[in-house]
Amino acid sequence: MPPLSNLATRDVETLVHPYVDLAKFRDRGPLIIERAQGITVYDTDGRPYIEGMAGLWCTALGYGNEELVEAAAAQMRKLSFAHLFTGKSHDPAIELAERLKEIAPVPISKVFFCNSGSEANDTQVKLIWYLNNALGRPRKKKIISRIKAYHGVTVAAASLTGLPGNHGDFDLPLPGFLHTSCPQHYRFALEDESEEQFAARLAAELDALIVKEGPDTVAAFIAEPVMGAGGVIVPPKTYFEKIMAVCARHDVFMIDDEVICGFGRLGTMFGCERLGFRPNSISIAKAMSSAYLPIAAVMIPESMYQALLTESRKVGVFGHGFTYGGHPVAAAVALKSIEILARDRIVEKAAERTPQFQKRLSALNGHPLVGETRGLGLIGGIELVADKGSKRSFAARHQVGARAVAFAEAEGLIVRAVGGDVLTLCPPLIISAAEIDDLFDRLASALDHTLDWVTRERLAQA
Taking only the tens place, the pLDDT of each residue in 125-136 is 999 999 999 999
Cis peptide upstream of residue 173 (ω within 30 degrees of 0): yes
* Predicted confidence band of residue 334 (pLDDT cuts 50, 70, 90): very high
Residue 420 forms part of a structural domain? yes
Q: How far lies 119's CA from each of 134, 166, 423, 446, in Å?
A: 22, 16, 26, 36
Range of the domain at 394: 31-64+345-461
Residue 336 forms part of a structural domain? yes
Q: Which of 285, 308, 343 lies at the terminal end of a domain, its last residue?
A: 343
Based on the fold, state whether residues 196 and 265 are members of the same structural domain.
yes
Q: What is the mean pLDDT of residues 226-249?
A: 98
- Would you put residue 42 in left (φ > 0), alpha (ψ -120 to 50) or beta? beta
Taking only the tens place, the pLDDT of each residue in 50-67 is 999 999 999 999 999 999
Taking only the tens place, the pLDDT of each residue in 414-431 is 999 998 899 999 999 999
Residue 462 has a pLDDT of 65
What pTM value is reported for the model?
A: 0.96
Contacts for 79 with CB less than 8 Å, ≥ 6 apart: 90, 92, 328
Based on the fold, state whether residues 351 and 248 are members of the same structural domain.
no
Residue 107 forms part of a structural domain? yes
Residue 311 forms part of a structural domain? yes
Q: Which of 343, 373, 398 lies at the terminal end of a domain, its last residue?
A: 343
Contacts for 442 with CB less than 8 Å, ≥ 6 apart: 50, 408, 411, 412, 413
CATH number of the domain where residue 112 is located: 3.40.640.10
Question: Of 55, 62, 71, nearest to 331 (Cα)?
Answer: 71
d(CA 72, CA 287): 16
Question: Of 402, 273, 305, nearest to 109 (Cα)?
Answer: 305
Based on the fold, state whether residues 199 and 310 are members of the same structural domain.
yes
d(CA 280, CA 301): 6
Taking only the tens place, the pLDDT of each residue in 445-457 is 999 999 999 999 9
d(CA 336, CA 73): 12
Based on the fold, state whether residues 267 and 205 are members of the same structural domain.
yes
Based on the fold, state whether residues 160 and 265 are members of the same structural domain.
yes
* Predicted confidence band of residue 4 (pLDDT cuts 50, 70, 90): confident
Based on the fold, state whether residues 171 and 203 are members of the same structural domain.
yes
Using CB atoms within 10 A of its CB, is residue 188 exposed (0-12), middle (13-18) or buried (19+)?
middle
Taking only the tens place, the pLDDT of each residue in 199-215 is 999 999 999 999 999 99
Contact present, 218 and 140 (Cβ < 8 Å): yes
Residue 23 forms part of a structural domain? no
Residue 55 forms part of a structural domain? yes
d(CA 300, CA 340): 25
Residue 191 forms part of a structural domain? yes
pLDDT of residue 3 exceeding 90, the answer is no
d(CA 69, CA 80): 14
Lowest mean pLDDT among 9-13, 334-338, 356-360: 9-13
CATH number of the domain where residue 55 is located: 3.90.1150.10
Q: What is the mean pLDDT of residues 138-158?
A: 98
Based on the fold, state whether residues 378 and 246 are members of the same structural domain.
no
Residue 24 forms part of a structural domain? no
Based on the fold, state whether residues 335 and 387 are members of the same structural domain.
no
d(CA 270, CA 278): 11
Contacts for 338 with CB less than 8 Å, ≥ 6 apart: 96, 99, 103, 263, 288
pLDDT of residue 2 exceeding 80, the answer is no
Based on the fold, state whether residues 175 and 201 are members of the same structural domain.
yes
Based on the fold, state whether residues 337 and 377 are members of the same structural domain.
no
Contact present, 381 and 343 (Cβ < 8 Å): no
pLDDT of residue 5 exceeding 90, the answer is no
Based on the fold, state whether residues 329 and 379 are members of the same structural domain.
no
pLDDT of residue 146 exceeding 90, the answer is yes
Question: Of 270, 325, 264, nearest to 290 (Cα)?
Answer: 264
Taking only the tens place, the pLDDT of each residue in 77-112 is 999 999 999 999 999 999 999 999 999 999 999 999
Based on the fold, state whether residues 339 and 321 are members of the same structural domain.
yes
- Averaged confidence pLDDT in the chain: 97
pLDDT of residue 389 exceeding 80, the answer is yes
Question: Of 158, 133, 119, nearest to 327 (Cα)?
Answer: 119
Q: Which of 343, 376, 403 lies at the terminal end of a domain, its last residue?
A: 343
Give how many domains the chain has, as a whole number. Answer: 2
